[in-house]
Amino acid sequence: MFLALALAVFLGSGEVANSSCKFDRATLSQMAPKVFDEDEKLGWRAVAQNPECVGLAADLISEYRASHWAALSPSALHLSYWHEGQLRAAAGQNARAKRLLLAGVDPNGFGDFEDYALGTVAFLDHDLAALKAARARLAAEPEPADFVAVAEKYHIKWPLNLDVLDHLIACFDQPYETAYNNCKK
Q: What's the CA gap between 171 and 123, in Å, rounded?
A: 10
pLDDT value at 11 more than 50:
no
Quick one: pLDDT at residue 60? Answer: 96
Quick one: pLDDT at residue 12? Answer: 38
State the chain's mean pLDDT as an integer: 86
For the stretch 34-57, pLDDT in tens is 999 999 999 999 999 999 999 999
Instruction: At 24, give phi and psi (nearest 5°).
Output: -110, 105
Enumerate residues 6+ apart whose C-beta is below 8 A from 140.
Answer: none
Q: What's the CA gap between 114 and 112, in Å, rounded?
A: 5
Tally of CA atoms within 13 A in the half-sphere of 92 that contains its CB: 6
DSSP string of 132-172, one letter each residue = HHHHHHHHTSPPPTTHHHHHHHHT--SSTTHHHHHHHHHTT
Quick one: pLDDT at residue 8? Answer: 37
Quick one: pLDDT at residue 5? Answer: 34
Quick one: pLDDT at residue 185? Answer: 58
For the stretch 122-169, pLDDT in tens is 999 999 999 999 999 999 999 888 888 888 888 888 999 999 999 999
pLDDT band at 16 (very low <50, low <70, confident <90, very high): very low
Quick one: pLDDT at residue 109? Answer: 65
